[in-house]
Structure 1
Amino acid sequence: MASETESPTEGVLIGEGTAPVDLTDQIEETDESFAQVSQVQTVINHIHGNIGGASFGISGSHSKSRRTSGPISQYEIAEARTCFVRHASYMDAAERLKNGNMVALIGNAGTGRRTAALNLLDDFVGAQRHVVELSPAYTLEKLVAREYRKAYGYLLCDWPMDDVDGSIVGFHVREIRRRVRDAGAYLVITGTATSLPEGDQIPWLPPLACDVLRAHQVAPEVADEVATQITADHAMNDVVTLARDLASGVPLDKALGRLESAGRRDVVAWFDGPRTRGELFEMAAMAFAAGLSENGFESLLARLESIAGIGEEKADGISADDPMPSRRLLRLAEGSLFSLSPRRRLEFKVEGHRTHVMRELYQRHGMRLWDPVTEWLHECAALRDPSVQAEIARGVAVLASVAGYSYVESTFLTPWARGRGVMRGQATAAMAISWLCLDETTRPEVLRTVTSWTRSSAARPKFTATLAWSGELGIRFPMEAARMLWLQIRDSEKPVRHAEIALARLFAALTEATGNALPILDWLARQISNDRRIGRAVDPLIRAILSVLTARADGVGIPTVTAHLRSRPESAAPLATLWSAVLVKRPHRKDALAALYDAVCAFDERDDDDRDRVRALLAALVETLPEKERPLLAYDLRRYAISRNTDEDRLELLMSLLRIFLSPAALSLNTIGKRP
């Protein structure tokens, strides 16, 4: 990873002599960038909602949970245990875990390491089934320092290798093993490589495909026949999906057809044929821009061909009589990998082909293709066209699955995060981060990259980090995101509007994607309650809390706090703490009242459950507020409701609920039931 002091690539802004950039006044660009990341997040949510995981690549399986740290649900554990095959590698790992309370499963992505780890932990923690996933941001030092609980299982997935001296590693590992064993806990780590000593590793190999098929009650003769169709390109998730299809009665030819859709036969056949430079650059453009309108794609392709010098040798000799091929028809001819949607968007016939095309382009062709493509991608990332930036970001994420994350990070992500001019490349980098979070192999690396941007002394990487934390990265690692954004807001000498927006967007994204932002609400409530600053010094934190309380998905619709209370009624207590912290600050009181009014009025007063939620919120708020503030809340809220032309029935309902919870001493001020 490039550091802040390294020489930047051409066209990249960073240098010790560079003047600091103030982003606080670039409101339009900031809002536009967050909107673009939010649009990509909507697409990712749609993917999860329809197929339960990402489909832009074939590496790795995809868990049902979007969160990549915290308690693992019983549902996910039960799913992992269904028809699981306990083969030789698993039994070796179980023996190692039994003897040392700690084991690392080291193998390729997509081989079922996570599923095996969940089974191991569930086998050892017994009926209590307390299994917690740790963030891959954990270092050896943090693993040594953390507290382990009795009969708990801890999972650390896709842990990247630390660049630590071997003797230090040995010391830390011995201490981790001692602390885990003394606590009566268990720790399972998965990764493609690890800093752990060989004695703590199990080389992980997946079970045989025929054994997986038979475990799902597929007939032995069918299982043996199907197993011959499965190659190393197929992840264990593909094999399990095929087994479930066959077990549920899907015909063999149809099930194998679905399996082939993840394969690469058609793509390899296309590349094995004689191809012109024009065809190869058109395929490269599709690898990064599939999903755009036909006109938009052709415009981008023309620019790529110009950069590559295609057609320049004939530029001076063009005649009206020269033949002009029908490129649109040829593009969709028989044997093509492309299709045209009813809305005239160019797409791959099979979504999985995008990854295979990228792999063939990268493995077969060198700088004569990739130098022009790289220059073209840098131009596309800076275009003021959100649809182009979104597709380019997705394509770059696919490239990382075949070329490696470090290449993509150094060639595209960090240069875009640091880029000059209007903040468009930053948005493209953040969108790529969201896509990269869908792949289990790149997720830990992405977390480290964005964390380093957050800690950068330069403004633009910091801004890119706030964008990234508000998207899929924040959904995967909510506590890390909340901490990073909060520290940026708390420790900055100037207002950090984009970090405040990111915190609100994170709350909205978590609520929309998972229905549960309770951990960060609890954490924020503790932070604001324990902060001892007074006066203007606490204003940045109050503004950040207010941004959370006023958040709405995409800036429209019902308040996010209302949606969250419907899915998580227990969030009334931390929300009341946050509201109380803002209400007692007079400069922000009116905004806090407006947020409270909007949230309460978004509930349906005719619905009993909604009435209970409002009752719980107001009860918690009255309990949390200092006693002298309680009657003032009733007075001010009623005044504000009247100013909003609230109808008498809703006003009386609102005031009657407050009347229930206010103390007799407060009621004696006679501020309720009368117009001020």
Structure 2
Amino acid sequence: MASETESPAEGVLIGEEATPVDLTDQAEATDEIFAQVSQVQTVINHIHGNIGGASFGISGSRPKSRRTSGPVSQHEMAEARTCYVRHARYKAAAEQLESGNMVALIGNAGTGRRTAALNLLHDFVGGRHEVVVELSPAHTLEKLAAREYRKAHGYLLCDWPKDDADGNIADFHVREIRRRVRDAGAHLVITGTATSLPEEDQISWLPPPVRDVLRAHQVAPDVADEAATRITADHAMTDVVTLARDLAAGVPLDNAVGKLESAGRRDVVAWFDSPRTRGELLEMAAMAFTAGLSESGFESLLARLESIAGIEVEKADAISADDPMPSRRLLRVAEGSLFSLSPGRRLEFRVDGHRTHVMRELYQRHGMRLWDPVTEWLHECATLRDNPSAQAGIARGVAILASVADYSYVESTFLTPWARGSGVMRSQATAAMAISWLCVDETTRPEVLRTVASWTRASAARPRFTATLAWSGELGIRFPLEAARMLWLQIRDSEKPVRHAEIALARLFTALTEATGNALPMLDRFARQISNDRRIGRALDPLIRAILSILSARADGVRMPTVTAHLRSCPESAAPLAKLWSAVLVTRPHRKNALAALYDAVCAFDERDDDDRDRVRALFAALVEALPAKERPLLAHDLRRYAISRNADENRLALLLSLLRIFLNPAVLSLDSIGKRP
């Protein structure tokens, strides 16, 4: 395949097959692919909170907050401090932080580095609202050295990958970081498996003793002693805390230990320790990548894998009617098997955690004879036309593979080839879904951020399209400001409409609202961007369309506009939303669509609910502040005419007409009287 720099621009020949592609002309396919990625996001939203362990990977954390940059919530700070054990390594880190204002906790994932960092920062800067800020791992040494640090604030940089800066340049940046942090009276804590900071700023991190954690949770001494012997190196600190809480709640020791992730590993290891045929191993590999598919769907994909691997199938002329047939379906889920069949006849692992352990054993025990056909099969499955369930399963499987193998192997073997693949954009959706799953694991999240950022800057169309898909999902939820910036720049700087980036912004707004209830930083950013943009006329059209896509956004299958849901969960977003609406409403070619979005958002509120009525008043009052005075009567006239044309029911129409007085006479209700009934 040609290198990225050799790839042609959008609308011309791309990829090995030299297929003509213009992504802006594939409206139906684009909507379908975004919807496919959103379905995976729905699954992640549903199981978030338990995914760090049994259902994904044993080394991942289970953070309460989905955002991995920005102010750390008081809830998360309080959760981190609950029953926390300040052991010798913690005290050493505290001493380093006190003397140098920054420290790096270097150790393996799953050892409680983030929790330790939050406790350190709380000890030094306190627990005031938004006083601890998490920085994006996309920060380089140069960016850290250039940023301003606020007085008496704490800064957290988790899972920071080692910078590849030259030694002398790195030393200069480190000195500048240290100076800026110290001069501001701030504190910086970094976690990672390696760091660019000098050794004097590092603490080799190890978790507190298991027994101490159990005793801190008020577990009886004899039970704590016995439980400590049952914890292995495979258990993450989250497992230990889960065990401590269960034991403290009175759960019997055997039951509590049995719930832990590594309890299922023994069954998996025992299976692999027994003599296995190549067919059995291929079936297990297929299951590791497609668990959750229907039984018939799994069998169809397995047959294709066996064909690629060269396993001989029965020939029709060699079979008589009297020959016995093995009951393969029954044997697959028989007693002692790792598989089970759901009531809906979907093949699953008996224990969710088996999937991760199976992937680990397959990767560590077997080489090219197994993995070459599996890799070819995965590339084929990633481009299937009418099997989105298979692609979603494979995306999750590839993310699990990255958690037990090396991320760079997964990125070079699967993610980037899929992002750049030819055809009708199926592999791009698979890559984006894998990115969403990879963002759940703290060990791969920073690498994923850099990978997608590189796709965004690519000269070829397909990697850029894959990046927009990825930014609209879990990656955007984790790094909302980076996602907003990348998508906005892609729209602003393109010489032609970038419809998929507009869709991605709308999807990102919906994803943030559904997952966190708060897209306010993103809205604030766009309100500032559009206010400061000096372009006029048609030159501003791409940005206006992008804003309109946000204001008109809806979740798949949901009638309520996302704006309405967001105003309910975050009333303070009325001001930035009004600024965005104002920017579109004063642009005549887009005014009707903006009125339609405003009408739909208002009518989705319950006019019988006092809180909803106040939210509508607040939005209209903010619009008064945002709109030029000469536009207000024009808008009142146009909105009234539009409402009548929509055949609004009498109650809705009465509400809208009463609100129109705000535009005709702003003194009726100003921002100072939000919530007060006139």
Please report the TM-score for the alignment, with normalisation by the length of structure 1. 0.95
**CA deviation after TM superposition for structure 1 residue 555, in Å:** 5.4
The residue that corresponds to 2:338 in the other structure is 337
> Partners in 2 of 1:416 and 1:510 — Cα distance?
26
C-alpha displacement at 1:14, in angstroms?
Answer: 6.2
Q: Relative to 1, partners in 2 of residues 1:19 and 1:258: Cα closer, same or farther, differing over 3 Å?
A: closer
- Could you tell me how far 1:198 is from its partner in structure 2? 1.3
| Matched AA of 2:118 | L
Q: Percent identity between the aligned chains? A: 86
Equivalent position of 2:309 in the other structure: 308
8 A Cα contact 1:437 1:443, kept in partner: yes
Gaps of 5+ in 1: 668-676
Alignment-derived partner of residue 628 in structure 2: 626
Asked if the contact 1:233–1:263 (Cα under 8 Å) also holds between the matched residues in 2, the reply is no
Q: Give the corresponding residue for 2:607.
A: 605
- Quote the residue 2:266 is aligned against: 265
Cα distance change on mapping 1:235 and 1:309 into 2, 3 Å = same
| Match status 1:351 vs 2:352 | yes
**Which AA in structure 1 matches 2:172?**
F
**Aligned-partner Cα distance in 1 for 2:264–2:560:** 43
Does the alignment pair 1:325 with 2:326?
yes
- How far the C-alpha of 1:649 sits from its partner, in A, is 3.0
- Listed one character per residue, the Cα deviations across residues 6-36 of structure 1 (whole Å, up to 9, x for unaligned) are 999xxxx967996874211011211111000
Shift of 1:47: 0.5
**1:348 CA drift (Å):** 0.3
**1:323 Cα shift?**
3.3
Q: CA–CA distance in 2 between the matches of 1:357 and 1:664?
A: 66
Distance of 1:632 and 1:53 partners within structure 2: 57
Structure 1 pair 206/25, CA: closer, same or farther in 2 (3 Å)? same
Q: Which residue of 2 aligns with 1:585?
A: 587
Name which of structure 1's ranges 59-68 and 367-376 shifts more when overlaid on structure 2: 59-68
Pair 1:80 & 2:66 matched: no
In 1, the alpha carbon distance for the partners of 2:431 and 2:666 equals 57
Cα displacement (A) at 1:243: 0.3
Where 1:24 maps in the other structure, the secondary structure is: helix
SS in 1 for 2:256: helix
Quote the offset at 1:171 in angstroms. 1.1
Contact 1:466–1:502 at 8 Å: present in 2 too?
A: yes
* Counterpart residue identity of residue 543, structure 1: R
Check 1:183–1:138 CA distance in 2 against 1; reply closer, same or farther (3 A cut). Answer: same
* Counterpart-to-counterpart distance in 2, 1:666 and 1:515: 31
Matches within 5 A, 1:447-596: 447-554=449-556, 556-596=558-598
Instruction: Show the counterpart of 1:411.
Output: 413
Matches within 5 A, 1:135-154: 135-154=136-155
The size of the alignment, in residue pairs, is 662
In the TM superposition, what are the counterparts of 1:201-280 in structure 2 within 5 Å? 201-259=202-260, 262-280=263-281
What is the distance in 1 between the residues matched to 2:301 and 2:75? Answer: 45
Deviates more, 1:595-604 or 1:199-208: 199-208
Residues 648, 52 of structure 1: alpha-carbon distance in 2 compared, 3 angstrom cutoff: farther
Q: Note if contact 2:234-2:262 (Cα within 8 Å) is conserved in structure 1.
A: no
Shift of 1:657: 1.9
Cα gap change, 1:570 to 1:256, in 2 (>3 Å): same
SS at the partner of 1:627? coil
Partner of 1:22: 22
* Cα contact 2:257–2:263 (8 A) shared by 1: no
Q: CA-to-partner distance for each residue in 1:82-126, whole Å, 9 max, x for gaps?
A: 111111111111111000000000000000000000000000003
What aligned pairs does 1:117-132 form with structure 2 within 5 A after superposition?
117-128=117-128, 130-132=131-133
Shift of 1:55: 2.8
Q: Distance in 1 between matches of 2:346 and 2:128?
A: 51
Match of 1:169 in 2: 170
State the match for 2:384 in structure 1.
383
Residue-by-residue CA offset, 1:53-88 (whole Å, 9 max, x unaligned): 883111132210000000001110110001111111
Question: For 1:371 and 1:16, how far apart are their aligned partners in 2?
Answer: 21
- What amino acid sits opposite 1:571 in the alignment? S
CA 1:54–1:339: 2 relative to 1, 3 Å = closer
1:245-264: CA deviation from partner (whole Å, max 9, x where unpaired): 00011122211111256541
Aligned to 1:190: 191
Q: Aligned equivalents of 2:54 and 2:605: distance in 1?
A: 34
TM-score, length-scaled by structure 2: 0.95
In structure 1, what is the Cα distance between the partners aligned to 2:49 and 2:624?
38
Deviation per CA, 1:399-451: give whole Å up to 9, x if none.
Answer: 00111111100000000000011100000000000000000000000000000
Q: Distance in 2 between matches of 1:379 and 1:664?
A: 62
CA RMSD of aligned residues (A): 2.1
Following the alignment from structure 1 to structure 2, what is the Cα–Cα distance between the partners of residues 261 and 141?
Answer: 41
- 1-side partners of 2:316 and 2:462: how far apart? 41
Aligned to 1:160: 161
Contact map agreement 1:466 1:499 (CA 8 A) in 2 = yes
Q: Distance in 2 between matches of 1:19 and 1:646?
A: 48
Amino acid at match of 2:24: T
| Contact preservation (8 Å) 1:52, 1:64 | no
Tell me which amino acid in the other structure corresponds to 1:514: T
SS in 2 for 1:29: helix
In structure 2, the residue matched to 1:637 is 639
Contact 2:471 2:483 in 1 (8 A): yes
Displacement of 1:583: 0.5
The aligned residue for residue 674 of structure 2 is none
| C-alpha distance in structure 1 between counterparts of 2:492 and 2:584, whole Å | 16
8 Å CA contact 1:117, 1:155 repeated in 2: yes
Amino acid at match of 1:463: F
Of 538-547 and 223-232, more deviation after overlay is shown by 223-232
Q: What amino acid does structure 2 have at the position aligned with 1:72?
A: V
1:397 aligns with 2:399: yes
Name the stretch that deviates more: 139-148 or 548-557: 548-557
Distance 1:59 1:451 in 2: 25
Aligned 8 A contact 2:66 2:478 in 1: yes
1:221 Cα deviation (Å)? 1.1
Partner of 1:104: 104
Instruction: Tell me the distance in 1 between the aligned counterparts of 2:557 and 2:506.
Output: 10
Tell me if the contact between 2:7 and 2:459 (Cα under 8 Å) persists in the aligned partners. Answer: no
Question: How many angstroms apart in 2 are the aligned matches of 1:15 and 1:175?
Answer: 44
The aligned counterpart of 1:652 is 654
- 2:673 alignment partner in structure 1: none
The residue that corresponds to 2:675 in the other structure is: none
Could you say what secondary structure the match of 2:55 adopts? Answer: coil
Q: Which moved more, 1:220-229 or 1:420-429?
A: 220-229
CA distance in 2, matches of 1:134, 1:3: 33
Q: 1:630–1:666: 8 Å Cα contact kept in structure 2?
A: no
Deviation at 1:318, TM superposition (A): 4.4
Asked if the contact 1:52–1:62 (Cα under 8 Å) also holds between the matched residues in 2, the reply is yes
Q: In 2, distance between residues paired with 1:23 and 1:118?
A: 44
Partner of 1:38: 38
Per-residue CA deviation, residues 569-604 of structure 1 (Å, 9 max, x unaligned), is 110000000000000111100000000000000000
Report which stretch shifted further, 431-440 or 551-560. Answer: 551-560
- 1:653 Cα offset (Å): 1.9
Distance apart, 1:200 and its partner CA: 1.1
18-27 vs 409-418, which deviates more? 18-27
Contact kept, 8 Å, 1:234 with 1:263, in 2: the verdict is no
Change (3 A) 1:516 1:260: closer
Contact 1:206 1:236 in 2 (8 A): yes
Separation in 2 of the partners of 1:274 and 1:399? Answer: 23
Structure 1 residues 20, 444: closer, same or farther in 2, change over 3 A? farther
Residue type at the aligned position of 1:349: R
Rounded to whole Å, the distance in 2 between the matches of 1:295 and 1:312 is: 18
SS at the partner of 1:339? strand
- Higher mean alpha-carbon deviation, 66-75 vs 246-255, is at 246-255
Q: What is the letter of the counterpart of residue 333 of structure 2? A: L
